[in-house]
Amino acid sequence: MAEKIIIDTDPGIDDAMAILLALRSPELDVIGLTSVFGNATIEVTTQNALRLVELEGHYGIPVARGCDRPLVVPLGEVGTYVHGEDGLGNTFPPPPKGKPLSLHAAQFILEALRRFPGEVTLLALGPLTNLALAVSLDREAATLARRVVIMGGAAATRGNISPVAEANIYNDPHAAAIVFGAGWPVTMVGLDVTTRVVMTPEYWERLYQAGNRVTDFLRAITPFYQRFHDQFYGMKGATHTHDPTAVAYLLAPECFEAPELSVYVETQGRCMGQTVVDWYGQWEGMPRVKVCLGVDAEAVLDLIYDRLTKPAEDVEDETPLD
Ligand code: BDR
Ligand code: CA
């Protein structure tokens, strides 16, 4: 049976690719999307979440709007410099047909966990505010979730929003501390692996050759993301693969090396958002999480390519987009 997942997300160009990858993966049953601020404001990320479920006609997948700011620290700059003002590379697509649920994302998550105890995986692709809120409202959530897979953090590598912090953790460090400490089974898919899965300009071109609705959409939104990677990292048209690598972990965990370690999240000061790993087991009383440290990047890239370029099995609406 397919694994039920809720994707908590701040789309976002790489979120878009991750969501489309999950929707094209028969091993996963996407039962809902929950939006969060991050790469853009909550208004923008919620609209994008709706657009993404609608892209290949998955109108039945609900979207619940979530938090518009971090739990404690003030809302900082959203990531439009990486993803565009519209979160989709300044392509400004038409508005979605659907609307978000009236239920808050945290409430949606709790209802799903209670309805399917032990069955639902939470895949977090943005700041962890909605998940932290859910488990703070009801501690039982930690025993009800099947697992929590997080794109976020940096264990033994540099940060991407500060010298030590990865953006999703930095954008709400208190939420991250709650989620890492809640005691549910967590996997951290951080920069240690996501920056090693590199999509070269040739890879992107090969993907675009498929000419399907998803790859055409990616062709439109990705140049902005490529320009950011070039300006900041000098990557000459190549990009890191953050959020899709977390989906790849769900599909092919054998491609990852992920030892169980404790992770402390720094919530203040210059190192705010740093995920500090207890490499030698010296800190007592902290839950262990799986920390992805190694990845077979080629296998992950092949997997993503295969899924996005094959004809989709359950596309509900084949009519071309405007
Ligand atoms: C993470 O931050 C966001 O910009 C991306 O969507 C990804 O989730 C990478 O640090
Ligand atoms: Ca994201």
The yes or no reply on domain 3-309 and CATH 3.40.50.2300 is: no
Q: Which atom of ligand 1 is nearest to the CA of 14?
A: 6
b (16+ CB within 10 A) / e for 197-217 = bebeeebbeebbebebbbbeb
**pLDDT the model gives residue 151:** 99
Question: Ion ligand 2 — residues with CB under 5 Å?
Answer: 10, 12, 15, 125-126, 243
Write out the two tokens for 3: 């694994």
Concerning whether 306 is annotated as a catalytic residue, the answer is no
Strand pairing category for 260-265 and 288-291? antiparallel
In the numeric block, the tokens 């040739």 are attached to 202
Concerning whether 242 is annotated as a catalytic residue, the answer is yes
Ligand 1 pocket, residues with Cβ under 6 angstroms: 12, 14-15, 39, 79, 82, 125-126, 151, 160, 166-168, 242-243
**pLDDT the model gives residue 312:** 72
Residue 316: HSE in the Cβ half-sphere, 13 Å Cα cutoff? 9
| Under 8 Å between Cβ of 108 and 35 | no
| Under 8 Å between Cβ of 52 and 83 | no
In the numeric block, the tokens 């939470």 are attached to 122
Q: What percent of the chain has pLDDT over 90?
A: 96
| Under 8 Å between Cβ of 45 and 7 | no
Q: What is the pLDDT of residues 50-103, one digit of tens each?
A: 999 999 999 999 999 999 999 999 999 999 999 999 999 999 999 999 999 999
Kindly list the distances between the CA atom of residue 224 and the CA atoms of 2, 53, 118, in Å, as whole numbers in the listed order: 34, 22, 39
Non-local CB neighbours of 248 within 8 Å, separated by 6+ positions: 21, 197, 255, 300, 303, 304
In the numeric block, the tokens 């979440």 are attached to 49
Point out the least confidently predicted range of 128-137, 180-189, 239-248, 310-319. Answer: 310-319
Write out the two tokens for 172: 């709400």
* Residues facing residue 262 across a β-bridge: 288
Q: Which atom of ligand 1 is nearest to the CA of 161?
A: 10
Q: Distance of alpha carbon 165 from its chain centroid, rounded?
A: 16
At residue 313 the predicted structure's pLDDT band, cuts being 50, 70 and 90, is low
The answer to whether the pTM exceeds 0.85 is yes
Does residue 294 have a cis peptide bond before it, meaning omega lies within 30 degrees of 0?
no
CA of 13 to the centre of ligand 2 (A): 8
| Of 83, 174, 242, 243, catalytic | 242
Q: Which of 243, 275, 292 to mutate to test the pocket of ligand 1 (most atoms within 8 A of CB)?
A: 243
| Of 10, 14, 86, 296, catalytic | 10
Which of 270, 272, 5, 295 has the alpha carbon at shortest distance from 150?
5
In the numeric block, the tokens 């895949």 are attached to 123
Q: What is the pLDDT of residues 237-255, one digit of tens each?
A: 999 999 999 999 999 999 9
**Which residue minimizes the CA distance to atom 4 of ligand 1?**
39
3-state secondary structure 176-219: HHHHHHCCCCEEEECHHHHCCCEECHHHHHHHHCCCCHHHHHHH
3 state DSSP class of 32: strand
